[in-house]
Amino acid sequence: MKLIKTLFIFSAGLLLLTGAIAYFQLPASEETLLILHFRPEAGIDLYGSIQDVYNLILFGFGLVAVNLFLSRVFARRERFFSLLFAGTTTFLSLLILIAVFVIVLNNKEPSALFIL
């Protein structure tokens, strides 16, 4: 049970770190279009606003909440499923962190990349 709690706290911490990176590194203006997806062979194929990035992070928090609830439901019956939910949540939180970091890198000026 201690490992499950630790994984969920770590997942929430990763999402808080992701939110801090997005808040401090992306432009705050709602009118600014951000590059959300880039393919080397086709170029930029998806633009969005800062709100789209925050929605991704909020989705991650919702995922943590739902998986925490399911983990508690299954904790007494089947410990394996509780660990599976906790581990999957941590993995997906890490993927969201990586995705937001790539969005930040795609939207930085080349001279400003060393500030990270």
Report pLDDT for 37: 79
- Please count the residues of the chain: 116
8 Å CB contact between 34 and 107: yes
Q: Does pLDDT of 69 surpass 90?
A: yes
Q: Does pLDDT of 45 surpass 70?
A: yes
8 Å CB contact between 90 and 10: yes
Distance CA 61, CA 15 (A): 7
Distance CA 88, CA 105 (A): 26
Rg (CA), the chain: 17
Report pLDDT for 34: 82
Half-sphere exposure of 102 (CA within 13 A, CB side): 10
Report pLDDT for 19: 94
